[in-house]
Amino acid sequence: MRGPHNIWRLIRTGATFERTGAMRVALEAMDAPPTLRLAARVLGWPFQWLGLKGDESVPPVTRALTALGPAYIKFGQILSTRPDVVGSELADQLKVLQDKLPPFSVEEAKREVAKELERPVEELFSEFSEPVAAASIAQVHKAVLADTGEAVAVKVLRPGIERAFRKDIDAFYLIAQTVSLFAPGARRLRPIDVIEHFEGVVMGELDLRLEASAANEFADSTAKDEGFGVPSVHWDLSARRVMTLSWAEGLPMHDVAAIKAAGFDTNLLGTRVLQLFLNQALRDGYFHADMHQGNLKVNAAGEIIALDFGIMGRIDEYTRRVYAEILMGFIRKDYRRVAEVHFEAGYVPADRDIDLFAQALRSVGEPIFGMDASRISMARLLAYLFEVTERFGMETRTELILLQRTMVVVEGVARSLNPHINIWEVAQPIVGDYIAQNVGPKALLRDLNATVRVLAKFGPKLPQLAEDALIRQTALGTPPPKVARFPGWAWFALGAATASAVGLAASLL
């Protein structure tokens, strides 16, 4: 489908961006090369009359994406998580992109539900409301189960949305390929990689079984978190195009006045939302990556309830340890240790000067720690940190970019509840506890235990694996590695240490 028939979409997109002024803003934000800016201007200006006008009351890029429709709105949302691609200022604009579209009729929604669940809606639900929320991909209805009377939220994909998105994604690929072909300098922006990332995210969101699975996994991982809840999944009423969750009643997190009027402690809620996120990211390595006020509620018991699990983040255990050590290093103002962690993790090339890097990190930390408590920002620290590490040759790490973006959002939520919150004081016990459990002797014993378990599985095969490796090496004409001649005392010490380690690990099994 990525062929000449998409040229009209390319022209319409470019014309809309030119007409709304979004073209200039977007290219400047991405620091596009002059040749690309000139080409876009020359090619776009004659056709701008073909572009959509959009809502003149919103910023240019948001205006253009909203006018072009659902796929473009979703593309803007996803780009808001990639400040490394579009720049921090544009990412902030896209972050507030209104993902609201006119809803489709309740009759169409019922037909989709009946088709997916293979039963009449009236048989499943005693009540099925008009849409309570409508977004670019799906809309939500409040319903009541016919057999139990439980209130539920039924999310339904827009009719024909899959085909519409595939057509637009094909157009996006054509745009990316055109940019790469006619503006080689823009290849550093990785336009095709960006579209591939977008396609992967959207294709996942177009199968609501995956979002139901994410909600279920998130509920399991946070089940013991006090003051936090996730709606439960009704698997028997969920399918590829329909998802049913228990209904979450509560006050929206953005209505701070109503939360205060209900008697809830907003300072406590601000602390809780930040610590919950840090626990999810560090302890579980699985976090809600879209924790803005619209996806959070406060129920009658004062619990924070999370909604919408289309965008979730994962970071592996090693990256979590690195991230925690970096944060704790800044909390302790141990800039040398922060620098060492970056080098140990391979984030910064080994040929760079570690002392100069530590000095640069000090220039990041000290101004922030000198601020009033109400202005101290972990999000700002991470943004400055990425600027410094980029100057020292650190490559972009997508998982950390998503973590940083979510940290910005969560910090904003916390400050809306408590403008004077001290981010570092709130973060320190969570980060400190994680460090104590995962960096040091306890972590070493746990890692050793895991290693012994793996070796135990392959123990009987190890001699054969070693022999096969030597045979392959000999066949390739490479002499086997020379074994160092250790003095007798060294062999004894090595054997004793190994025996002690294995014995200690075995006792933990």
Catalytic annotation, residues: 290
> How many C-beta neighbours within 10 Å does residue 346 have?
11
What contacts 372, CB < 8 A, 6 or more positions away?
none
Q: Do the beta carbons of residue 200 and residue 50 sit within 8 Å?
A: no
Whole-angstrom distance between the N-terminal and C-terminal Cα of the chain?
55
Torsion of CA 411, 416, 420, 423, to 10 degrees: -10
Tokens of 181: 């072909």
Q: Do the beta carbons of residue 397 and residue 313 sit within 8 Å?
A: no
Tokens of 424: 């570092």
Gap between the Cα atoms of 140 and 231, Å rounded: 14
Q: Are strands 286-288 and 312-314 parallel, antiparallel or unpaired?
A: antiparallel
Question: Alpha helix locations (H) across 254-314?
Answer: 256-261, 266-279
- Phi–psi pair at 420, nearest 5 degrees: -105, 15
> 214: helix, coil or strand?
helix
Question: Alpha helix locations (H) across 263-397?
Answer: 266-279, 317-331, 335-344, 354-369, 378-391
- Phi–psi pair at 20, nearest 5 degrees: -85, -10
**Residue-by-residue DSSP string for 118-142:** TS-HHHHEEEEEEEEEE-SSEEEEE
Gap between the Cα atoms of 71 and 10, Å rounded: 14
> 210: helix, coil or strand?
helix
> Helix axis angle, 60-68 relative to 70-79, nearest 10°?
140
The Cα diameter of the chain in Å comes to 86
Q: Do the beta carbons of residue 66 and residue 97 sit within 8 Å?
A: yes
CB-count burial class (<10 Å; 0-12, 13-18, 19+) for 475: exposed
> 502: helix, coil or strand?
helix
